[in-house]
Structure formats: structure tokens, C-alpha cells
Amino acid sequence: MIDFRLDEEYDSLRKTVEDFAHAEVAPVIGELYEKEEFPYAIVAKMGEMGLFGLPFPEEFGGMGGDYFALCLALEELARVDSSVAITLEAGVSLGAMPIFRFGTQEQKEKWLPSLCEGTALGGFGLTEPGGGSDAGATRTRAALDGDEWIVNGSKAFITNSGTDITRFVTATAVTDVMENGRKEISAILIPSGTPGFAVAPKYSKVGWNCSDTHELSFSDVRVPAENLVGVRGRGYAQFLSILDEGRVAIAAVSVGLAQGCVDECLKYVKDRVAFGKRIGEYQAIQFKIADMEVRTHTARLAYYQAASKMLRGEPFKKEASIAKLVASNAAMDNARDATQIFGGYGFMNEFPVGRFYRDAKILEIGEGTSEVQKMLISRHLGVA
């Protein structure tokens, strides 16, 4: 018989992160969000809790957990703020995971301990100014010159790429072109501060204002040949597999935001009075909140199922796309409805739903747009 209850270890982690989010994140995140400041103190505390090391083995400084544990933590953080959640998500699944999945033993020993501690962050350099959903249209180039790679090109919208604790970016680059015109794309680790590696000023964003996002450029950047991550020519495929896992994580963030909308509305409708009644007594409001809860519940089941297949080692690409699509839609719809329930107050940044509304849209875009998810689902059904 199927049992959707969390076991004691998972539930204990969930409650611990829930308490942390309300005690440490909620009181300060509004001011940080307004100032567009990276939450260094919160990141440090998450590192001390071991959240950045959740899915990694103890031999590299991790907690010996799994990817589902990470997703549970992300959901609880996103119930309060998605900027903090995405900083953790990108730090683990996009920064550290490529090293863990495809790096050499030496690369793992060098980089993973500080990444697991949360004292260092890594970036995931896939997207380029001229290629978002079409990430295979990579223009960044890397050529071997003796025992060094020379990298030239640029990347766009790279999370955790310009903080004071960012230590590297793993970037995809064209390392050869086949006779048939196909590109050989490889992944190369470029340490922060390498000559020719420039980080542009942070973007002015609609949402995720406490998250760090930059455009990067590489001008004759030289790094050792051993900075190749994984197999030469497999960089694009490696990153696609990382994105499959990341979509489950983004679904968890989306569910957290959707649940946060429900949480805030349940509190608000008990106190807000209009036309002589608490607005929670009006059926129109009740139905709207019921719809929000249904979306959240459905999206949570979707990412739980995708995560379960992933942990069992079964193919989960379709399920990851379904989870990401359903959950990001739920986040956007719930944020819209929550803002409507709050009325004018929902348009004020001092109320969490204002942040939720601004943060929700990117969940339908980042780590694969909704259209890309539909394309992938159709392909797995044999339609495309």
C-alpha cells in the first residue's frame, strides 16, 4: 500500500528547517529584500546547520542525506522567502552537484568540503545572452594550449556567481566542431579571480531580490587542463542531467511559495474585516483559498513522486518536467490569488505576498521554461 507520510528523519529535518525559516529568515528578509542585499548571515547559518551538505557523503563534509532531504528543506525555506531557497538550491544542485557527479577525486576533495559547509559557493554557467532555452547554441569557446584551456565567451543570468564567497563557475564551452558541424561541448571549472574572468554588476530584477545573479565574461581566460569537469564532449549532456535533478528542486521551491501563499491568506482572512464580516466568512474567499490548497497539494505530490523515482535510480525526466510545470503554475496562480485576497496590502512589499507575487514568475522560466517542460513531456509520450 502506498504511504505518503514522511518518515521520522525526513519529518524532523522538515520541522527543523521550518523553525529556522520562521525564527531566522522571516524577521529580517523583508528589509534585506528591499535593499537587494545578499543574505550572508542567513547563508552562514544554513551552512552551520548542514543544509548545503544535505545530499553529499560525509567523506566530503556532507550530511550523508539525499536529494529529497534537500527538496524538503527548500520547500520550507520558500514558504518564507524564495531568494533564500534559491540560493541554497543553486549552491547545491547547480554549484556543487556537477563536481560531485562528474568531477575527479581531486576536484571533489578540493572543492566539496567548503561547498558543503556553505562557506563557498559555485556557479553553473550554461545560459548565454543569445541562448536560454536553446542552451545547445553555446558560443563560449575553449581551446587547449599545451596544458591549459583558453576560454572566451559570456554567460547570462548566473546565480551565486558574484558573491564574496563565490569560488568558481563551471561553464560549458565549445571545445571542438565535428565534421558534420555538431559542436563538442565540454564543462570547465573557472575559479573566481582568474585573469580575464569578469563579473558584471548584479542585475536589477523583478524578484528574488536577495539572490545573487550576474552576467559573466571570459576574455582569454587560462585555466589548467585538469579543470575539465567530467568527460570532454559530454559537458552539455552532463548539465542536462543536472537540470533534471534541479527541476525537482525548483518544483519544491515552487510548492513552498504556493504553500506560503496559503499560510499568509489563512492568517489574513481571520483578521481582515469588510462589510461587517471577517472576509474568511465569504464563500468567494473560501473557494479561492480552497483552489490554492488544491494546487499546492497536487504539486507537492508531483515532486514527491519525481523525487522517489530519482532516488530509486529509475528514469525520472518526464516526472521532473511534470513536477516543475505543475508546481511553477501553482506558485504563480497562488501568488496571484493571494495578492487579490490581500487587496491593496498585497501590493505592498512589507507583506510577504507582495514578495511572493514578484518571485513566482521566474519559477515558470528558470531551469527550463514551462514551454520546454511541455516539449519534454510530449517527447517522452512519443508525440514529438
Tell me which residues are annotated as active site. 367
Burial class (CB in 10 A: 0-12, 13-18, 19+), 1: exposed
d(C-alpha 375, C-alpha 365), whole Å: 14
Q: Closest Cα partner for 248 from 312, 309, 159? A: 309
- Ramachandran sector of residue 122 (left: φ over 0; alpha: ψ -120 to 50; beta: rest): beta
Which amino acid belongs to residue 13? Answer: L
Q: Closest Cα partner for 112 from 223, 195, 229, 211? A: 229
Torsion of CA 308, 313, 314, 319, to 10 degrees: 40
Q: Closest Cα partner for 246 from 146, 120, 374, 159? A: 159
Q: Closest Cα partner for 251 from 380, 83, 363? A: 363
